[in-house]
Amino acid sequence: MARKKLIAGNWKMNGLLSEGVDLAKEIVAEVKKLGKPGCEFLICPPATLLTSVKKTLRGAKVALGAQDSHWENKGAHTGDISPAMIKEIGCTYVILGHSERRADHGETNEIVAKKAKAAHENGLKTIICIGESEAERDSGKTLDVCTSQIAGSVPEDSTAADTVIAYEPIWAIGTGKTPTPADVEEVHAAVRKALAKKLGKAQASKMRILYGGSVKPGNAKEFLSLEDVDGALIGGASLKAADFLGIAKNAGCC
């Protein structure tokens, strides 16, 4: 079953208005040069930039995503943003359960699952993030942590059409450190097995599982050529159009 690779940029809390729009314009120009890319491109700017970046993406083969959304569509939730709101702006994706949100905002698997369910009900695709800490890795718990995050964070009725998983070992995020390709392969295979247990084999075999954590043009091929790696969720390197596109090109998927 061919799964189209997804090259997704998570800009995190970076970019003032003009910088963000300029970056989006550069990405659009580079993607246009590819004609019909063999992979799917997605950028997830901070919420303040979504409206302006959406205008820049008009007609381009680059999708827009948000970095979080609430489990309710409206109400008394100061500072939050709802799935209906980001859908209205033109987002098709939302990242949920990123380790930075789990750490900074105490998001549990239950919260992530609630948010994902609401996002799906609003017609959004979710990128549900999982991944172990360094201490968990050192004590040999990587597979247990990741499979239990799948069991707890992915809603029961998720499908390959509305859900993408991103495996991001916390210790590899922004550090320049990466797991070995063999480690990534092992985790992705275990994640697919956990998805099969939760959602059935048919959905699990079609669902995309991204790798994230210090992905750069120089290491893109070693990760993105692995059997169960269906794209990348990119932080730092997604803030430069050349690096973001370089990852897709070096991975041979566009």
DSSP letters for 44-72: E--GGGHHHHHHHTTTSSEEEEES---SS
Nearer to ligand 13P, 84 or 237 (CB): 237
234 binds ligand 13P (CB under 6 A): yes
81-118 exposure pattern, b = at least 16 Cβ within 10 A, e = fewer: bbbbbbbeeebebbbbbbbbbbeeeebebebbbbbbbb
Nearest residue to 116 via CA among 158, 160, 149, 146: 158
- The Cα 71–Cα 149 span in angstroms is 18
Nearer to ligand 13P, 27 or 84 (CB): 27
Contact 221, 252 (CB under 8 A): yes
Contact string (CB under 6 A) for ligand 13P, positions 64-103, x = contact: ----------------------------------x-----
Q: Which stretch binds ligand 13P (CB under 6 A): 83-91, 152-160, 220-228, 234-242?
A: 234-242
Report in angstroms how near the CB of residue 234 gets to ligand 13P at its nearest.
5
Nearer to ligand 13P, 37 or 213 (CB): 213
Nearest residue to 50 via CA among 93, 5, 6: 93
- The Cα 46–Cα 68 span in angstroms is 9
Q: Which of 30, 40, 70, 98 is catalytic?
A: 98
Report in angstroms how near the CB of residue 164 gets to ligand 13P at its nearest.
12
Contact 134, 97 (CB under 8 A): no
- What are 66's strand-pairing partners? 94
59's CB contacts (< 8 A; 6+ apart) are: none
Determine whether 168 is an active site residue. yes
Query: Looking only at residues 137 through 196 of this chain, which bind ligand 13P when binding is defined by CB under 6 A?
Result: 168, 173-174
- The Cα 9–Cα 14 span in angstroms is 12
213 binds ligand 13P (CB under 6 A): yes
Nearer to ligand 13P, 71 or 223 (CB): 223
Query: Looking only at residues 214 through 233 of this chain, which bind ligand 13P when binding is defined by CB under 6 A?
Result: 214-215, 233
Query: Looking only at residues 10 through 69 of this chain, which bind ligand 13P when binding is defined by CB under 6 A?
Result: 10
Report in angstroms how near the CB of residue 70 gets to ligand 13P at its nearest.
19
Nearer to ligand 13P, 53 or 234 (CB): 234
Determine whether 70 is an active site residue. no
Q: Which residue is nearest to ligand 13P (CB)?
A: 235
Q: Is 96 helix (H, G, I), strand (E, B) or coil?
A: strand
Annotated active-site positions, please? 98, 168
Contacting residues toward ligand 13P, per CB under 6 A: 10, 98, 168, 173-174, 212-215, 233-237
